[in-house]
Amino acid sequence: MNTFPTYLKPESVNKFNEIFINNQLSLLRIDIVDTLLSRKTENEYVDLTSYIRRGLTTCNFEPIIIELNTLGWKCSFSFNNTALFIYINDIPPNCFTETIDINKTSLF
């Protein structure tokens, strides 16, 4: 970042939470792309711990899951919702939860 964003003004303080969540989701998308491009097997997952520590919840991740499903990926949360597995066909053996199918069920 070369300069501060224009929204970082006192009059925007009431929108900071929404802006924060959107910024975190942008960073998560970058994490997901980096993970998918660099991983060796589908056993590797995206660690959500840092996002959860910043206050995001599984509800905040719903748009990400929808986007990935639309692109043809299957997704599953594991390890008490702190890991996101993204895979093509079969759920990885080290993922200990059910598949998230946004089209068949509500996440929350």
User: CA triplet 105, 66, 60: central angle to 5 degrees?
Assistant: 90
- Range of the structural domain that residue 46 is part of: 10-87
Pull the structure tokens for residue 66. Answer: 């929808």
Whether the CB-CB separation of 75 and 107 falls below 8 Å is answered with: no
93 domain-assigned: no
Q: Smallest Cα–Cα separation from 61: which of 48, 80, 78, 45?
A: 48
Q: What is the mean pLDDT of each run of 10 residues along the chain (108 residues)?
A: 92 94 95 96 95 92 96 93 94 76 54
pLDDT (0 to 100) of residue 100? 53
Q: How much is the pLDDT for 102?
A: 55
Note whether residue 94 is domain-resident: no
Q: Which residues contact 7 (CB under 8 A, 6 or more apart)?
A: 15, 19
According to DSSP, the residues that pair with 76 across neighbouring strands are: 85
Whether 106 is covered by a domain: the verdict is: no
- Counting the structural domains of the chain, the total is 1
Amino acid at 21: I
> What pTM did the predictor assign?
0.81
Report if residue 71 sits inside a domain. Answer: yes
Query: CA nearest 56: which of 23, 79, 32, 88?
Result: 23
